[in-house]
Structure 1
């Protein structure tokens, strides 16, 4: 899935908040994404900035070409989410290209990377609030077996299992959730997790390579 983020190459993102916004004096940095150096920027005067990354990362990002704080990279990959909504996600790092190649579900290490690396990745499959709202409502009502809220304060709901099981579960909700069930992402891969958070739906499954 190394082509997943290829469109980012050479682009400049301003990751000062949950979405791209202007900043008076942005700090520019470089992130290694899908084997390419990508220029990003963030606001050094942002409130609570130091809450987003560890002292180890503060030292690490002072030098080297790959010097963007991990939260800046994560924001650039998930511009539709707030920092709280990003809680379930970590940066998936590829050792061969020594770069970030996407996001996954899991705990983060001191550099924002997935603490327990896996072969899975998360891909946005729907960004209409109707699907996410339908899944959240079904989880609250307990009408779909296996669909539950994550206990991390992100507001995310998740369902995991085989692609066939998840497609059936989402189809039973109907409406926009049924549209997600028909996504080609769910058709490929045996083990899948579908996450609805912040009005967006992600499918996380094992990669092909």
Structure 2
């Protein structure tokens, strides 16, 4: 009977106490507020993105979450590979993360260069991302290019009016992004299509 119950639980995808890892709880600061999170500290991909310097920092600091856990929470629609172009934007005044931006990460997962923009998801359907990726592959839109980091992301940068007209020219799902308030309210904007998601990154 016990074997049957365990087999049934496994079939239903219900983890038992014997084979499920206990989550590690932590706290991070986002926009000046303490935010509780949980993660699996033994996860392989987390270890690959967690430096020794950050391990020591989070052990003794107030912000105890690995930066990669925080970045994941801000980009829930992406895989680890698709997340590659992004870094955490850190604000000294509030001593907290205020969003994510495009750029290389330092040892704490923050943007290596002083970050000026915050990225915001503007479309959750694959249509817009597929349209932009296809346009980049065909070279039909000036300035739309693939990022050389293996993430599969494509990016276009410029004024909000230029990007809106370029997205409208692509058509389909991309034209819907062109009317996003995030694009219309920014002067200099970068639009990133990665996975099935499109982000607009502008000075915040």
**Number of matched pairs:** 186
Determine helix, strand or coil for the equivalent of 1:138: helix
Q: Quote the offset at 1:58 in angstroms.
A: 1.2
Q: Provide structure 2 residue ranges, at least 5 long, that are not aligned to the other structure.
A: 1-14
Moved more, 197-206 or 23-32: 23-32
Do 2:39 and 2:69's aligned partners in 1 also have CA atoms closer than 8 Å? yes
CA distance in 1, matches of 2:24, 2:66: 11
Matched, 1:75 2:72: yes
Aligned ranges for residues 139-178 of structure 1 at < 5 Å? 139-178=136-175
Which of 43, 48, 51 aligns to 1:46? It is 43
CA distance in 1, matches of 2:201, 2:46: 29
Q: Tell me the equivalent position of 2:183.
A: 186
Shift of the 92–142 alpha-carbon distance from structure 1 to 2, 3 Å rule, reads same
CA distance in 2, matches of 1:63, 1:75: 22
**Larger of the two Rg values belongs to structure:** 2
Higher helix share: 2
Matched, 1:205 2:199: no
Which of 57, 61, 64 aligns to 1:60? It is 57
Consecutive aligned runs of 4 or more in structure 1 exceeding 3 Å deviation:
none
Do 2:46 and 2:68's aligned partners in 1 also have CA atoms closer than 8 Å? no
Q: CA RMSD in A?
A: 1.2
Q: Tell me the equivalent position of 1:101.
A: 98
Shift of the 119–48 alpha-carbon distance from structure 1 to 2, 3 Å rule, reads closer
Matched, 1:130 2:124: no
CA distance in 1, matches of 2:94, 2:46: 29
Q: Tell me the equivalent position of 2:29.
A: 32
Aligned ranges for residues 109-120 of structure 1 at < 5 Å? 109-120=106-117
Deviation digits for residues 23-44 of structure 1, max 9, x if unmatched?
A: 6310111101111111111102
Structure 2-normalised TM-score? Answer: 0.88
Determine helix, strand or coil for the equivalent of 1:62: helix
CA distance in 2, matches of 1:57, 1:45: 16
